């Protein structure tokens, strides 16, 4: 019964009159008992009966009061502020994390890039002179679930003895750097975390591996921007052909990806005419040079080769495989060559929530015969026109609306990755 209904019931009764009648009933019962005893019994035994009758009458009165209370107030609870108990939270593994919004959260960022030795200077926007810090204070909130709060120590314990491998382009390297910086907040001694070969982070290096010695944890990055095998131009090729992509062969360093517990891929930013045809790079299948093959067709073929390799080579009972979708960029202008970083996220996606590259990735992954998880980050990145490197990178004269500041958007990719990974293994 609702509170207003209870109050209506209370108003419909004259409580004072009810209590007055009950008190009159009690008095009459006592007087009747007293009269009977005085009239018929004079000895002390019957006086004790009078006491018993009095006690019985009192108990009857209390019972009547209780019944009246329960009738009038059947569902009234103590006046304590109450809050609605939320419905059961859907597991992140079963939730569409791509459907959500960015909300401000003053507990962010998760780390300080200037204190993380693995945060590349080119992505450390504050170090490079950016003054506003608002872009660091946003958290992605899916519509139907909550991404668990990141706890570095718990994650390190659960990943102990594991090998995590990220494969892809510079956006994959950004995610790799972000993940290491996030996990280092749970380490007592930074000296226990180091690059296995003593290498510094550079744009062109093909392999970087960081060892968390206390937890026997390796986090590796392999630079493979196309995922398939780059090759020299075949004999008797046209002069414009300087190199090829072997669409039917995975990158020759793929053998180093196999022995892993978590494997995360990305590709897309290099599949453009500027990075391919204008550089003299064309496509090849077997011994056949495909000079007229469109880039979209070639990308689909490369994805098919990658999917076949995963299905036949990776033991998915051990290795959790992820593919991150295309990351939204915010280039503007007629030729999409101008970059304007905003102070706040866009209020809508302005058409950036879809990408043909992401669409092809999703189609291929859904048809695979083995379990592969999608990290669908295209839509969530579409809002974040404020999160790019802009002019706060390695070269201030060249603005960048493709890469992201650290801390920033890639941290959220890793929060989703880790929460999905741990949910699968609970």
Per residue in 79-108, pLDDT (tens digit) is 333 333 334 356 676 789 999 999 999 999
Lowest mean pLDDT among 33-47, 124-138, 280-294, 322-336: 33-47
Lowest mean pLDDT among 129-133, 378-382, 395-399, 417-421: 395-399
**Cα–Cα distance, 408 to 128 (Å, whole number):** 15
Within a domain: 302: yes
Within a domain: 20: no
Domain count, the chain: 1
Residues 6+ apart with CB under 8 A from 422: 155, 158
Within a domain: 83: no
pLDDT for the residue 78: 33
Within a domain: 180: yes
pLDDT for the residue 336: 73
**Cα–Cα distance, 214 to 249 (Å, whole number):** 38
Within a domain: 412: yes
Predicted TM-score of the model (pTM): 0.78
- Give the burial class of 323: count Cβ atoms within 10 A of its Cβ; 0-12 exposed, 13-18 middle, 19 or more buried: buried
Within a domain: 168: yes
In the chain, % of residues over pLDDT 90:
68
Within a domain: 52: no
Residues 6+ apart with CB under 8 A from 4: none
pLDDT for the residue 86: 37
Q: Residue 266, SS3?
A: coil
Query: Quick one: how far is CA 50 from the chain centroid?
Result: 76
Range of the structural domain that residue 138 is part of: 100-423
pLDDT for the residue 22: 46
Within a domain: 87: no
What are 54-80's pLDDT values in tens digits?
A: 566 666 656 656 655 544 444 333 333
Residues 6+ apart with CB under 8 A from 104: 137, 138, 139
CA angle 326, 331, 335 (to 5 degrees): 115
């Amino acid at each position: 019964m609702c509170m207003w209904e209870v109050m209506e019931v209370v108003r419909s009764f004259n409580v004072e009159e009810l209590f007055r009648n009950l008190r009159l009933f009690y008095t009459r019962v006592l007087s009747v008992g007293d009269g009977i005893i005085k009239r018929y019994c004079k000895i002390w035994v019957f006086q004790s009966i009078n006491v018993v009758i009095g006690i019985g009458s009192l108990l009857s009165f209390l019972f009547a009061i209780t019944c009246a209370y329960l009738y009038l107030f059947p569902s009234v609870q103590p006046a304590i502020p109450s809050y609605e108990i939320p419905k059961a939270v859907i597991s992140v593994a079963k939730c569409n994390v791509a459907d959500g919004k960015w909300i401000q959260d003053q507990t962010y960022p998760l780390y300080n890039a200037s204190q993380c030795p693995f945060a590349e200077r080119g992505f450390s926007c504050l170090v490079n002179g950016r003054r506003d810090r608002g872009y660091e204070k946003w958290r992605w909130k899916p519509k139907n679930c909550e991404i668990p709060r990141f706890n570095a120590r718990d994650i390190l314990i659960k990943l102990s003895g594991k090998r995590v491998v990220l494969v892809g382009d510079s956006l994959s390297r950004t995610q790799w750097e972000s993940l290491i910086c996030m996990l280092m907040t749970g380490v007592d001694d930074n000296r226990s975390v180091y690059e296995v070969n003593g290498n510094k982070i550079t744009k062109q290096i093909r392999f970087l591996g960081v060892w968390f010695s206390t937890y026997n944890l390796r986090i590796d990055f392999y630079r493979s921007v196309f995922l398939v095998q780059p090759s020299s131009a075949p004999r008797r090729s046209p002069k414009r052909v300087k190199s090829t992509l072997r669409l039917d062969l995975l990158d020759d360093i793929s053998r180093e990806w196999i022995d892993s517990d978590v494997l995360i891929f990305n590709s897309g930013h290099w599949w453009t005419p500027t990075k391919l045809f204008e550089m003299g790079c064309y496509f090849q299948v077997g011994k056949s040079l495909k000079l007229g093959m469109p880039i979209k067709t070639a990308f689909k073929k490369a994805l098919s080769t990658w999917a076949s390799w995963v299905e036949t080579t990776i033991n998915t009972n051990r290795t959790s495989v992820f593919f991150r979708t295309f990351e939204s960029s915010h280039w503007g202008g007629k030729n999409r060559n101008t970059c304007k970083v905003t102070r706040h996220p866009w209020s809508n996606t302005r058409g950036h929530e879809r990408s043909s590259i992401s669409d092809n990735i999703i189609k291929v992954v859904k048809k695979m015969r083995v379990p592969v998880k999608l990290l669908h980050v295209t839509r969530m990145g579409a809002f974040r026109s404020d999160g790019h490197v802009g002019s706060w990178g390695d070269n201030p004269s060249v603005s960048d609306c493709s890469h992201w500041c650290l801390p920033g958007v890639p941290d959220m990719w890793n929060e989703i990755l880790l929460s999905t990974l741990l949910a699968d293994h609970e």
